[in-house]
Each structure stands twice: as C-alpha cells, then as structure tokens.
Structure 1
Amino acid sequence: MRLLARREHSRLELGRKLAARGYPCPDVEAALDRLEAQGLLSEARFTESLVRQRVQQGHGPLRIIADLRQRGIEDPGSAVEAAQVDWEALAREVYRRRFGGDTPQAPRERARRMRFLQGRGFPPETIRRVMNDVDTT
C-alpha cells in the first residue's frame, strides 16, 4: 500500500518491486489481484499518469511508448494516441527551450540538435519539420 500511496504503478512494476523485497510469487500475485479488484491498482490510471508526466517533461511519443512497454503495458500506442498531443508543437517547444531561436550554421551542430530531439523520442518526420522551420526563420 505504501508503494501505491506515493504514485501509480503498473502491475508488472509493482510485482517486481514486491518480489525484490522477498515476497513469494504466489503471495505477490494474490495481492495484486486483490488490489485490482478493489480498484487500487489500475493499468489505465497508471498509463494516463505516465503519459501526462512524460509529455510535461518534453518527451516524444516513441520514448513514451518505450517507457510504457518497459513497464508491462500491453498496447502503449493507443494510450499515446489517446493523449491527443500535438507532437510537432511539443518538439518545437522542447527545441526552443534547449537551443533558443538561433539557426544552426554548421552541419555538425544541426546533426547534434537533431540527435537531441531523437533522443527525446520524437519521430524522424517531426524532427525534419521542426528543423526545416528553424532553418527558414
């Protein structure tokens, strides 16, 4: 209960934490089933919470999907689509916060900035549009 009181967890994530603390696997599964039945453990709530948090941190859809998969969420793509985020606008904002409004002069600097956005989890087409807009302004 203390783990759930701090933040939402996925079933897999909470199961791993309890197993790491030495609880037997059958007891962990029974406890997780009870928590789900009582509505205290919810994959949907966890997914919404994580997506919202990652968007606020400036992460793109590819990174968020990878985070959800790592935490055992079955269909992370639909959860990201349900968030209805303008990914291009978010990528522009992340770019502006990191690099300001200046245009990269050297190809090496342009590639570095593109890798930054890629590391944040934005798809290549979004990165190209953002970089092309920066180059034309």
Structure 2
Amino acid sequence: MQRKKSKLTARESAVQMLSRRDHGEFELRQKLKLKEFEPSDIDQALEYCQGNGWVDDVRFAKSQIRQHVFKGHGKRRIQQELMLKQVSEQDIEQAFEQEPQDWFELAKETAHKKFKGKKAEDAKAYAKQVRFLQYRGFDFEQISYALSTFESEQE
C-alpha cells in the first residue's frame, strides 16, 4: 500500500505534530522522514520550530519524566527511554535536576501498588518482586527500601 504524499510542507507538518503533543528533536525528525520530506526541508522545519521554542529536548525530557513517574517507573528506566529517543545525556541530566523525585518513595509506592504491601513468602516470590522493580527502573538500594516496608503475613 502506497502512502499518500502529504500536501502540507515539512514546517506545517512539524507544527501540526507539535500542536498535539511535545516531541523531541530526533522523534520529530523521524516522523518527518516517514512523511518523505527532503532532508533539507526537515532541517529547515526543525530550525523554525526550535527558533520559536516549540522543540526543546530538555522540556521534552521533563515531560517524559513526569509521565513515567506517574506510571511508577524509576530513574534508570526513564533514562533508557530518553536515550532511545536520542535525547542527549546533558539534556537528560538537566531535566532530572529540574524535575526532582524521591525515587525511594516512588519505588515503595510502586511496590505497594503491585504487591499490596505483602512480604514475599519465599525466595522465589522475593526474586519476582525484585525483578519487577528492576524492570520498572529502580536500583537495588531503592528496591531494598521498598520491600523492607512490607508487612509479614503473620503480623
């Protein structure tokens, strides 16, 4: 199936996409490439959008951090997602500085939400809890803290 070539210019397409939600520079560039715009038109569109302050990777990263925190994701997972979206390490660090989080409390909230505050009955169940929190992007210190707040079934 052939894609219909867009009647909009690269600039108009970029502005239209940004009107729906924030995009990082790389993400916006990829979407414009999919619409088969010329590389020079894409560069001009991105320069125009950046010049107007509509494309800002730090702002985009802060937005992504807030979204991921709401989903119960840890710092490692968020960093990984932002790296996949080609946001620079410098922009990622700046965004984390501007969006401070208590990762220990977030790990605790995430664990309590998933495991209802129940301590693991055996090593296998404990390992499952640890793997879940690792996948969510928490480090071992944060995981230990979160799981240490659980109550035993016997208490």
Indicate the residue corresponding to 1:108 in structure 2.
124
Query: TM-score, normalization: structure 1?
Result: 0.92
Residues 81 and 127 (structure 1 numbering): CA distance in 2 closer, same or farther, change over 3 Å?
farther
2:139, 2:125 → 1: CA distance?
A: 19
Letter in 2 for 1:12: F
Query: Are 1:132 and 2:148 matched, yes or no?
Result: yes
Indicate the residue corresponding to 1:96 in structure 2.
112
Q: Deviations over 1:6-63 (max 9, x none)?
A: 1100000000010011111111011100110112212222111111111111100000
Identity in percent: 31
Unaligned runs of at least 5 residues, structure 1: none
Alignment of 1:7-46 (within 5 A): 7-46=21-60
Letter in 2 for 1:118: Q
2:125, 2:150 → 1: CA distance?
A: 13
Secondary structure at the counterpart of residue 134 of structure 1 = coil
Letter in 2 for 1:97: K
Indicate the residue corresponding to 2:83 in structure 1.
69
Letter in 2 for 1:10: G
Query: Are 1:5 and 2:26 matched, yes or no?
Result: no
1:43, 1:56 → 2: CA distance?
A: 20
Query: Are 1:123 and 2:152 matched, yes or no?
Result: no
Query: TM-score, normalization: structure 2?
Result: 0.82
Q: Deviations over 1:52-100 (max 9, x none)?
A: 1111111000001111111121122342243211001001101111110
Unaligned runs of at least 5 residues, structure 2: 1-14
User: For this pair of structures, how many residues does the alignment match?
Assistant: 137
